[in-house]
Amino acid sequence: MKYVLIIVALVLSAGCRSESPKESEDAVVNQARLEATGQAAPYAGATGSVAGTIRISGDPPPLLPDLAEIPVGKCFKAHERHRHLFRKAPDGALADVLVAVTEYDGEIPAPKQPVQVTIEDCAFSQRTIAMMMGQKIEVLNKGPAAATPQLIGSPVPALRVAVPGGEPVSLIPHAPGKYRLVDRSHEFAFAEVFVLNYPTVTVTDVTGRFEISGIPIGDVRVSALLPLTEVTSDQKVTVRAGQTTDVQFELTFSLEDWKSSLAEEARTRREQAAARSDDAKDQSKQTGGHTQNPSGPAGSEAVPNTSAVQQ
């Protein structure tokens, strides 16, 4: 099957479920694995890899507005990871970029191992998380204080506390799309979570490096997305058996364009809110003043737009 990376607007709302956290977790993980492997046998042919570095030029990253909420004199990792819109080295090497390989033939099942994330010094170990539907996130607390990790956009049976040095907290996305991992104890700490229908995906490290292996041979597309900025790029390359194809990306960031996109998104949200309000008023007239909550189930929260999903 050919896979294509598409950037779309997607809103995921939390819902209400009656299962226990463990029952819900097992059902989602097991069902996703069945769906990933049930329609076709897993690819068993020759594979290769892609690897490279992503750099960025243009305007420097602006400070994030939540910076003022990070305590002074502590939470040093939070200052390091969440001070700017994105993280780049002096040579332009870019961290936290989502990299995906698509448009190959063959079904690849979800990895069995969970995606492990640590939280320490008021910050998650990474700002971007890439995973396949069927995997779960395990958040391990290495800090001195308790943390309350939550996956915004996924049903939340109950908030779970990650005890320092204790067992990891498991979080399960219930559909492909974009989520946000937050710590309710330190809400300036966050990570963008991309849940895809294929496993050929990774995130650049602090040196801008990435590598994806186990790719079916042939012509493929390598795509890069810098979250929060929505800066993207892609290349067509050929994957050969037992070889690593070098792929280099040079992204460009424009502060003016970014501010314009934020203004456009804000305008769209206002228009959507006005439309919902008008619908609610119309419904109120039809029902004699009794209306339902137009924003969804109690406690639901929306995820910022732009998601990477399979089509």
Q: What is the residue range of 154's domain? A: 5-310
φ, ψ for residue 117 (rounded to 5)?
A: -130, 135
Q: How confident is the model at residue 40, as a pLDDT?
A: 66
User: What are 69's two structure tokens?
Assistant: 């909420």
| Cα atoms in the Cβ-side hemisphere of radius 13 Å centred on 1 | 15
Rounded CA gap, 188 and 184, in Å?
Answer: 9
Query: Whose CA is closest to 169, among 203, 190, 131, 142?
Result: 142
Rounded CA gap, 60 and 90, in Å?
Answer: 11
Mean pLDDT by 10 residues, the chain (311 residues): 40 32 42 49 93 97 82 84 92 98 92 94 94 95 92 86 94 94 90 96 97 97 96 97 98 95 89 83 68 39 36 31
Maximal C-alpha separation, the chain = 69
Q: Domains in the chain: how many in total?
A: 1
Rounded CA gap, 183 and 185, in Å?
Answer: 5
Q: How confident is the model at residue 7, as a pLDDT?
A: 38
The residue to which tokens 């990435």 are assigned: 210
Rounded CA gap, 300 and 197, in Å?
Answer: 24
Pairing between strand 149-152 and 209-216?
A: unpaired
Q: How confident is the model at residue 49, as a pLDDT?
A: 98
Q: How confident is the model at residue 186, as a pLDDT?
A: 87
Q: CB neighbours of 268 closer than 8 A, spacing ≥ 6?
A: none
Q: How confident is the model at residue 117, as a pLDDT?
A: 96
Query: Whose CA is closest to 123, among 173, 202, 69, 61?
Result: 69
Q: How confident is the model at residue 228, as a pLDDT?
A: 92
Q: How confident is the model at residue 289, as a pLDDT?
A: 57
Integer CA distances (angstroms), 149 to 20, 127, 130, 175, 229, in order: 18, 14, 17, 19, 24
Query: Whose CA is closest to 46, among 202, 220, 240?
Result: 240
- Please report the beta strands in 142-200, taking only residues with DSSP state E, as ranges in sequence order: 149-152, 169-171, 177-183, 186-196
Q: How confident is the model at residue 257, as a pLDDT?
A: 93
Q: Helix, strand, coil % (nearest 5) of the chain?
A: 20, 40, 40
